Structures are given as C-alpha cells and as structure tokens.
Amino acid sequence: MKKIVTILLAALFTTMAYDLSAQQVVKQRVGKFKEGGELVVREATTTLVVDLVVECEEFEAGVYARYAQKLLGKRASLVNRMSYEVVGADVAVLAEPDYYTTNIECDTTERTYIGDEVAVDRLSAAEQNLESAAKSAADKIYELRTARQEIILGEFGDGVYGAGLEAALREIDRLESEYLKLFYGVRTLSTKHHRIVLPVSADAPSSVIARFNSEEGLLQKDNIAGDIIMVTITPSAMSYPASEEKGTVAYRYANNATVVVSLAQQKLASRVLPIYEFGEVVYFAVPK
C-alpha cells in the first residue's frame, strides 16, 4: 500500500506541479511592460497544492465470531469498526493554479459485503440456531482442509493432477476463505486521494488547510472534532541581486522556503519551494 501511494503522488506532481532545490533561482518580471507586442500587467504570486492520501480500514465482524475460539481455537473480534490514517502526503507549487480545483478524490477501492448474497454455509432451507449453524460451518472448514490434504498426498480416489489439481486446490482455498469470513469477518482497506489548493499570503506563513481524526477521516478546517493539518512556510536567509541605479525593470525573486505539511505534531511532508511572497523585488536597467 505504501508503494502504491508513493507512485500515485509522484505521478500527480510530475504533471501538475513543480518543486526546486534551495540552490536554484526563480524570478518573474512584474509590473506593466510590453511582451510580444502586447501590454502586460503581471504580479508574481504562488499557489501551493497539497495532496493527502487517506487510508480507510473497515472491519465487519463475522456472524459466528463468538464461537470462533470454541470451534476453531482462535478468538475473533466481535466488534465492527472503521478507522482512518493519513498514509501519504506531498506539497508543491502549482504550475497552473487557475486550471485545478480543490478536493479532488480518486483511487477508491470498492467494498463487497458478504450479506449481498446467500451465505456460503447455507445448504438447505432448514432453520438452525446460531451455535448449530456455526458448528456446521466449522465442520465444513475441517472437511475442506482434509480434502486438500488428501488431494495433495494423492489419497483422493485415483488422484488429481496437472491443471485439475491446481483448479481443485484454488476452489478449496476459496471455499475455506468464505467459511472463515463467517467467523473472523472481513477487513477492507481503501484509499482516497484529496487535493487542497492553497494561495500563499505573505501575512500568513502558517495556514490550517483541513482537520483529521482517526474515526471520521479528513474534515473541514473549521471542524474542531479533528486535529489540525497545517502548512507552515519558513523563508530561507538567501541573498538577492542589488537593484541597479535608476533601474525601472522590476523582477520579483522567489524565496526558496521550506514548506512543511503537518498533522498535529507529526510531519507529513516537507519540501524546499520557490515562494514569491517571501522574496524581494529587484530593479534592473534592462530586462534580464
């Protein structure tokens, strides 16, 4: 799962955003000037994009969970539960901020419920109490395991070989898995990718972008039921060229700042990014 999350974030930022090392210089001409024969008025601004990957683990207890210890020798959980975890995060400068929207969600797995079809242990219309039904299901698990052993050891009739052997073992494994779910339940993992777009302000080096708790997942930033997810920008002590005497051509140099995404006290992502809002405007006599 961790590898899949890394690949997902890498692919997203390859095409949608960029980041730079602390040694690189990023600048943009600003103010009113002519470009390509057209009059241009330009400001240098920065928009960040934060990608968060949230994993949801859902557990549905088996209908015979209370009898697992007695019949199969291993205790089963009796409680349905759902929990969330942030398993991936990244931050970058958005190359085209007007093109993208916030809160994009993708890469979500589908959930299949056992209850959508007749239970695998139902072999007749006859009614059974829960414990008797559980015992019948446990007996079937032991029968399947015995059959698997007989097939592998060649004790099943004239023996099963080749593709027939593989098919028989796969079907036994499938059936055993379905019966075991009746005791030990179903655990489902799904992931959802959230994208949050954040315009940078020089007056707000720290911004709350969302909240999170393990029971509900990602929440709106004003929902106090969750811990704060924050973006913190720390400018570097970098030097800029000196303005030239009587210079009228303005360039805004970006500051190569450290941008950290954190959840409460946990650091989720950190990058050095060019942030215009914390840089300086330098004037030259001619365009550079």
Task: Based on the fold, state whether residues 245 and 197 are members of the same structural domain.
Answer: yes
Task: Based on the fold, state whether residues 55 and 182 are members of the same structural domain.
Answer: no
Task: Based on the fold, state whether residues 128 and 108 are members of the same structural domain.
Answer: no
Task: Based on the fold, state whether residues 110 and 193 are members of the same structural domain.
Answer: yes
Task: Based on the fold, state whether residues 91 and 207 are members of the same structural domain.
Answer: yes
Task: Based on the fold, state whether residues 46 and 109 are members of the same structural domain.
Answer: yes
Pair 49, 195: CB distance under 8 Å = yes
CA within 13 Å, CB half, 69 = 5
Q: Domain total for the chain? A: 2
Task: Based on the fold, state whether residues 107 and 215 are members of the same structural domain.
Answer: yes
pLDDT tens sequence across 164-221: 778 888 899 999 989 999 999 998 889 999 999 999 999 999 999 999 999 999 999 9
**Which residues, in sequence order, are bridge partners of residue 251?**
29, 282
- Taking residues 145-152, report their average pLDDT: 85
More confident residue, 8 or 166: 166
Task: Based on the fold, state whether residues 248 and 110 are members of the same structural domain.
Answer: yes
Pair 62, 183: CB distance under 8 Å = yes
Residue 156 pLDDT exceeds 70? no
pLDDT tens sequence across 53-99: 999 999 999 999 999 999 999 999 999 999 999 999 999 998 765 44
Task: Based on the fold, state whether residues 155 and 193 are members of the same structural domain.
Answer: no
**Across all residues in the chain, what is the average pLDDT?**
82
> Which residue range is the domain that position 171 belongs to?
118-186
Phi-psi sector, 92: left (phi>0), alpha (psi -120 to 50), beta: beta
Residue 103 pLDDT exceeds 90? no
What is the C-alpha end-to-end distance of the chain, expressed in Å?
47
- Least Cα distance to 196 among 126, 261, 266 occurs for 261
Confidence of residue 118 (pLDDT cuts 50, 70, 90): very low
Task: Based on the fold, state whether residues 191 and 276 are members of the same structural domain.
Answer: yes
State phi, psi for 142 to the nearest 5 degrees: -65, -35
